[in-house]
Structure 1
Amino acid sequence: MNNVVKAALLAAFLFPGAAHWWLKKYLVGAIFAILAVVPLYVIMDTTMTQTQLIIDKVLQSGGQIDLLSIHALVTQQMASLDTQDVYHATVMLLCVWLVNVLDAMRLARKREH
């Protein structure tokens, strides 16, 4: 397996910046990692907040906790959720990841020649 394929696999499947770290481009790797962590934080924060709100509503409802009541609460919570931030964070994460893979492949090709 040549270095271009290794760099592409590291960048695509491990984490943004991993291939740059392997190629000894530590600063660029750190920048890609930070650029990927920020949208991941937004996505995880929103998910955890919404999950906690749903759990609180389930516990406040008292009585029988069954699958249908939980499903109704989740549906109600998701209908009231503004997903604009999560959408933008997801798009940013995908763009960072794609640019990371392409740049890692470019650097690996450059090192081979």
Structure 2
Amino acid sequence: MNLPIICILLSAFAFPGAAHFYLKRIKIGALLLTCFCIPFYFVLGFLIDQLFMVYHAVFAFKVEPSLSAMFWYMFNNFVDESEIPFIKSAAYYSLGFWIIGITDSLRLALKENKLR
């Protein structure tokens, strides 16, 4: 398989920096993975808080156990609405680092293909 295709698949579907690890660029891969995981941690924490809020509401019989009712409850009863801009920014940062990882791994793979 072609090296640039392997690198794109690794970065896009495994995690940001996976192709850098594959290309033995450990420091850059670790930096990309860290820069992705820190904001993603906050996004994931917010989503888990929302899910637990809905979970407790379902088992306290405040909400019927249908998907539409649970979504409606979640969107009407956010845990803390002041966190939403921060979570939105964190999600954008995570997405940005993921895209940076894909494009940089493609750049490195094309560079290594030219050297061969």
TM bracket (short chain): 0.7 to 0.9
User: 1:8·1:105 contact (CA, 8 Å) conserved in 2?
Assistant: yes
User: Distance in 1 between the 2:37 and 2:97 partners?
Assistant: 10
User: 1:16·1:32 contact (CA, 8 Å) conserved in 2?
Assistant: yes
1:19 matched to 2:19? The reply is: yes
User: 2:58·2:65 contact (CA, 8 Å) conserved in 1?
Assistant: no
Aligned to 1:93: 94
Paired residue total: 112
User: Distance in 2 between the 1:12 and 1:71 partners?
Assistant: 29
User: Distance in 1 between the 2:80 and 2:97 partners?
Assistant: 29
User: Distance in 2 between the 1:70 and 1:111 partners?
Assistant: 50
User: Distance in 1 between the 2:4 and 2:86 partners?
Assistant: 34
User: Distance in 1 between the 2:47 and 2:103 partners?
Assistant: 29
User: Distance in 2 between the 1:51 and 1:81 partners?
Assistant: 15
User: Distance in 2 between the 1:48 and 1:34 partners?
Assistant: 21
User: Distance in 1 between the 2:79 and 2:50 partners?
Assistant: 11
Deviation at 1:3, TM superposition (A): 0.8
Which has the larger displacement, 26-35 or 46-55? 46-55
Q: Give me the identity figure in percent.
A: 25
User: Distance in 1 between the 2:4 and 2:65 partners?
Assistant: 52
Q: TM-score, normalised by structure 1?
A: 0.81
User: 2:53·2:79 contact (CA, 8 Å) conserved in 1?
Assistant: no
Aligned to 1:81: 81
User: 1:58·1:73 contact (CA, 8 Å) conserved in 2?
Assistant: no
Q: Runs of 5+ in structure 2 lacking a partner?
A: none
Q: TM-score, normalised by structure 2?
A: 0.79
Q: Runs of 5+ in structure 1 lacking a partner?
A: none
Say what the alpha-carbon RMSD is for the aligned residues: 2.5
